[in-house]
Amino acid sequence: MPIVTLHKNGSTYRDEVKPSTNLVVRAGIKQFPYPNLAYQCGMGKCATCACKVLAGAEHLPPPNWKEKKQLGERLEQGYRLLCQLWLEHDIELLQEPAAAAA
Ligand code: FES
């Protein structure tokens, strides 16, 4: 089972999830990584769920067109849209606070 590690606001959250888990869907039903994951649309349109992949990026599929459109050059820095990913392997993520909250 994939182990998800999320770094957010200086804290680290870790839990095991079922294979093919979408973290935005899980947060939507108030399971880990709720309430520590920021997201909005769940459809690849807002980029609120963007996270930098610190480890495990090699197991992810190539970015889809929504990720390319929303993330642009941030893709090369390792960012992905969590609402567009169904996880099959361990992954370590960093979600930076929204600029408005900083
Ligand atoms: S939640 Fe809006 S792009 Fe992922």
CB of 71 within 6 A of ligand 1: the answer is no
Nearest-atom number in ligand 1 for the CA of 39 is: 1
Specify if 100 maps to a domain.
Answer: no
pLDDT higher than threshold 50 for residue 47: yes
Residue at 84 is within a domain: yes
Instruction: With a cut of 50, say whether residue 101 has pLDDT above it.
Output: no
Q: How many domains does the chain have?
A: 1
CA distance 69 to 73: 10
39 lines ligand 1 (CB under 6 A): yes
Domain that holds residue 81: 3-95
Give residue 22 CA to ligand 1 midpoint distance, Å.
Answer: 12
Beta carbon of 81 within 6 Å of any ligand 1 atom? yes
Q: Which amino acid appears at position 97 of this protein?
A: P
pLDDT category at 61 given cuts 50, 70, 90 is very high
What pTM does this model have? Answer: 0.94
Q: What is the pLDDT of residue 99?
A: 57
Are residues 80 and 56 in contact, defined by beta-carbon separation less than 8 angstroms? no
Is residue 98 classed exposed, middle or buried when 0-12, 13-18 and 19+ CB atoms within 10 A define those classes? exposed
* 101 belongs to a structural domain: no
Does residue 102 lie within any of the structural domains? no
The CATH number linked to 15 is 3.10.20.30
